[in-house]
Structures are given as C-alpha cells and as structure tokens.
Amino acid sequence: MTDTHAAATAAVDAAAALVGAAARHLAENATENGRISVSKLDQHQVVAYDLAHAAAAVAGSRVMLSYAQHGDFEAKLSYTYIADVFADIVSRLVGREAEWGVDPADLASAHDFVAAHRDPAFLESLADELPRHGTGPAHLDDEFDMVRDTFHRFAEDKIRPVAEHIHRTNADIPDDIINGMAEIGSFGLSVPEEYGGFAAGGESDYLAMCVATEELSWGSLGAGGALITRPEILTRAIVKGGTEEQKHGWLPQIASGERIVGVMVTEPDYGSDVAGVKVTATPVDGGYVINGVKTWCTFAGRADTLMVLARTDSDRSLGHRGLSVLVVDKPPAPGHHFAFDDGRDGKMEGRAIDTLGYRGMHSFEVAFDNWFVPAENLIGMDSGLGKGFYLQMEGFENGRLQTAARAVGLMQAAFEAGLGYAQDRKVFGRPIFDYQLSKVKLAKMAALICAGRQFSYEVARMMARGEGALEASMVKAYVCRAAEWVTREALQLHGGMGYAEEFPVSRYFVDARVLSIFEGADETLCLRVIARRLTEQMLSA
C-alpha cells in the first residue's frame, strides 16, 4: 500500500467513524421504548437528511478505495472523489456540531490528504488526462464490454437521432425504438431463463442491467434509459410472488416485448407514503373492480399491461397490509389522452401530465371507474392478498439501483458534451478547457461519474447476494443529486449556448432534475429509509 493510499484509507476511516458517532447520537435522540420512533426522528430531520447523504458518500468512498488499486489514473479519480466527500461532510457539519453530537477535531488527521487532492494544481493535472481516459475504465469482465457495446451502438444509432425531437415536441417514443429494444433483449434482462429471459440468477444479471441502463440513458433518459425500468419492476414482483401459471403466462411476453408495461403506485394524495393508498380493488364475481385515481403513471398510455397497487381489504387500519398488486390489461394508446371501457360499464381514462423534461414516455394521471380485472390477474392470487407492498418493493429496490445507473449514463453524456465544447470553444483567445476553473470542474465531474458507476456496480453485486437494500437507497440518493450538479456545470461550460435548445446539454439538465424525485424522493429515502435504518443498526449493535 502506498503512503497516499494509506492516507486515503485513513481519511475514509475517519469520516466513517464520525458518521457512525453521529448515527449513534441521532439514535439516542430518536429512541422510545427501545425502538426508533419515527416522530422523534422527524424532530431531527435536518441532521438525519445530511447524515444519510454523508453515509452514502462514505459508502461510495469505500468502493473507490478498491477502484484506486487498478492504476494511477483510477487512483487520481478515487482520491479526488474521497477528498470532495470529506469537504462535503465538513460543510454539512460546521455550525451543527452539537446536533450531530461529534467533535470536528476527529477529522483533523485527514487534512493533509484532503488538501493535496483538492489542490487546484492536482485537479488540473487530472483534467489534462480526461481527453484520453474520460471518466475511467469500468473494470468489468469482457462479457459486460459486449453488453456495453451492444446497447451503446443502439443508443447511438436509434435513440440519439430522435432524442431532441421527442424532447422538444413532447412526442411519443417511436415504435422502432421499442421494437429495437425488444430485439436486443432489453426487456428480458431480469426475466429468468426458464421463462424466456436472460437472467441466470447470478450477479451478472444485476451488472448487465446497470451497464445496459447506463448506455440507454446516455442516449436519452426519457426515450431510452427508462424504458426497461417498468418491466423490471413488474418482473421482479411476478418472480417473487406470482404463481407458476402467472410466471409462464406473463414473463415470456414481457421478455419478448409483446407486453409493454406501465406501473401505477402513486396517487394524488399519496406518493412515497404508500401505506395510505386509497385506490380500491373490490371483490366481485370472477375478479375485482378498481376505483380511484393513480398519478405519475409513466408510459401508461403506450403500455398494454399495467401493474396496479390497490387496496383489496376495505379495513384502512391495515395500512400497507391491505394492499395487493394486480396486472391490468388495456389497449395501447398513442398521444396524451386515452379513454377505454371494459365492456362491463367499467371505465379507464388517462391524461398526460406535462413535465420540464423526461419526455417521450409521458406520465399520466389515470382514473378508474369500476374497471374489471379477472381474479387470476392478482399476483399470487389468494396467497398474494395483502402482500402488494412487499411485492412492489421487490421491484422498487432494484429500480433505485437502476435509477442510479440512469443517472450515471446521463452524467456521462453531459460530461462528454461539456468536455467537447470546452476543447472546441475559444474565449479570450484560449479554449475554455485551458482555464483552471474549467479543468477543476471537469475533474470533479469525472470523479463523481466514476464513483457513481463503481458504487452502482458494487450494489449490484450485493443485491445478487440478497443484500444491499439499504445501499440501493444510498446510491440512488447520492448519485441522483450528483447528476444535478454535473449536468448544471456541463451546461455552464457551454455558456449561452447551453441555455439554447440547439445543444442537447439543455435537455440533460432538465432531465436530471427528475432523478431525485422518482423511484423514491430524495427526502423520503434519506429520512424514512437511510437515516432510519442507520439508527436502527446502532440500536442493534
């Protein structure tokens, strides 16, 4: 181990120890009758939120310590990231030491390492290598290079040529993109082989999903990277809780692209607070009738298969234990509005919600009025009653990992755009890239992207072992916030042209803003998942 790597390790250890001490302090303040009280935890939301992001950044730093061992350039990226993480934690801590319950002096030992790797001269030297090495090699096996090449070429040939048109006109995703993605196996990446997909049951399934998602998102977040998320969520719910008949009936059709999936969980009054879902699925002869309104139902128009989380038990005191998941069939519908009847006086009507970015898939608000669903379309049938929350979470946890991969792909596109423009555009007689501030920005961008990618891969490996639920929330929260900064700075490097729709970087900027909202809003993930689990771990330690 080199002296520099030893110093980096010591810095990460110091940050981890501080975060651990703060988590113990927060646990003490939020404990009631030997358990973490959500109401007490909510009295310390600011600290809990900052602590969650700090813990996620430290987890990413651990991953980057390993990545640094691959070579000199990898080490520079890793140490840049770790030093920046350290500075971010200090900025969150200053003035709130008492609330955190820690002594900032505990971080003093890392000062020299952090100073060396936040030095503008060091970052300039890193930036000088970016035109050759980009955001660093992935260091995955050759099979994943093949996956990356396949999806990158598809994104370059099929998605990028139409991405700007889709964004500017809020148009539908062309069928040739959907059909092309089906042909290269995009929708079967998580479907087990025995049901017509490509998932063999190992860590390669999760890693391949990350790689494919990243490349499709590099093409376009709305017209590429998000297309495989919804079938992924439904697939995992069916694999977890479906009957064999349901698996054999639905999964091959999802894998082939014969079924195009939309997911309906959120409601106008209930987003991340899923336990409050009000849409009902009432038992009737032969099945259920659905009543109520779902919102933010991405791709609900084009989809012909909907995953709907609904209340099948009228006792609302049961909370999430009264929810089930139904697979609802409907005709595909182009455009921004649809209305159908089920032939039994039941109705379904949807309208698209206009958004700043993330266009093409269209997010709908959908109203159900006595829409009939056959009994065999409840996932798990009788054994699935009341288990809807757990089944949808089976998909959503992996969806958070996938969203982190989407953020990485989007950041990569923004970084390449920013670097290319900075090299070509001259200001005051010199390329923008030659200025110190530009180089420092690009160096930090590269480090954040590399860390997001490597952190995602590590979480993928954990999830393949049946672990990593907490880390999936961590990587999603951290990387999606990073994407906002990276896309902003890429736009800034373009100057006035970044604000013009003539350059894709303006699309990257508005698309990035949705990442911290969907698949678990940033605040909810930090407060209700990450901080809560961190404090619960302290009680059980």
Question: Residue 284: helix, strand or coil by DSSP?
Answer: strand
* pLDDT number for residue 272: 61
| Mean pLDDT calculated for residue range 121-130 | 98
* pLDDT number for residue 507: 97
Asked if the model's pLDDT at residue 54 lies above 90, the reply is yes
71-75, 96-100, 123-127, 268-272: segment of lowest average pLDDT: 268-272
* pLDDT number for residue 203: 86
Q: Which amino acid is at 280?
A: T
Query: Can you read off the two tokens belonging to residue 502?
Result: 């003539």
Q: What is the pLDDT of residues 334-344, one digit of tens each?
A: 999 999 999 99
Catalytic (active site) residue 519: yes
Residues near 497 by beta carbon (within 8 Å), at least 6 away in sequence: 421, 503
* pLDDT number for residue 195: 96
Q: What is the pLDDT of residues 202-260, one digit of tens each?
A: 889 999 999 999 999 999 999 998 888 889 999 999 999 999 999 999 999 999 999 99
* pLDDT number for residue 271: 60
Q: What is the pLDDT of residues 491-539, one digit of tens each?
A: 999 999 999 988 999 999 999 999 999 877 899 999 999 999 999 999 8
User: 207: exposed, middle or buried (C-beta count within 10 Å: 0-12, 13-18, 19+)?
Assistant: buried
Fold classification of 261-384 is: Butyryl-CoA Dehydrogenase, subunit A; domain 2 (2.40.110)
Report the percent of the chain where pLDDT is more than 90. 86
Dist. CA 103–CA 144, nearest whole Å: 44
Asked if the model's pLDDT at residue 393 lies above 70, the reply is yes
Pick from 425, 414, 410, 411: which is nearest to 491 by CA?
Answer: 414
Between 420 and 466, residue with greater pLDDT: 420
| In contact, 116 and 122? CB cutoff 8 Å | yes
Buried b / exposed e over 268-307, threshold 16 CB at 10 Å, is eebbbebeebebbbeeeeebbbbbbbbbbbbbbbbbbbbb
CA distances from 14 to 21, 119, 457, 496, 530 (A): 11, 20, 24, 42, 20
Average per-residue pLDDT for the chain? 94
Dist. CA 150–CA 152, nearest whole Å: 6
Catalytic residue among 143, 519, 523, 536: 519
> HSE-up of 183 (CA within 13 Å, CB side)?
9
CA distances from 396 to 362, 391, 476 (A): 20, 9, 11
* pLDDT number for residue 392: 86
Fold classification of 3-118 is: Butyryl-CoA Dehydrogenase, subunit A; domain 3 (1.20.140)
Asked if the model's pLDDT at residue 276 lies above 80, the reply is no
58-72, 213-227, 433-447: segment of lowest average pLDDT: 213-227
> What does the domain layout of the chain look like in residue ranges?
3-118, 261-384
Asked if the model's pLDDT at residue 316 lies above 80, the reply is no
* pLDDT number for residue 512: 96
* Count of C-beta atoms within a 10 Å radius of residue 365: 18
Q: What is the pLDDT of residues 90-112, one digit of tens each?
A: 999 999 999 999 998 889 999 99
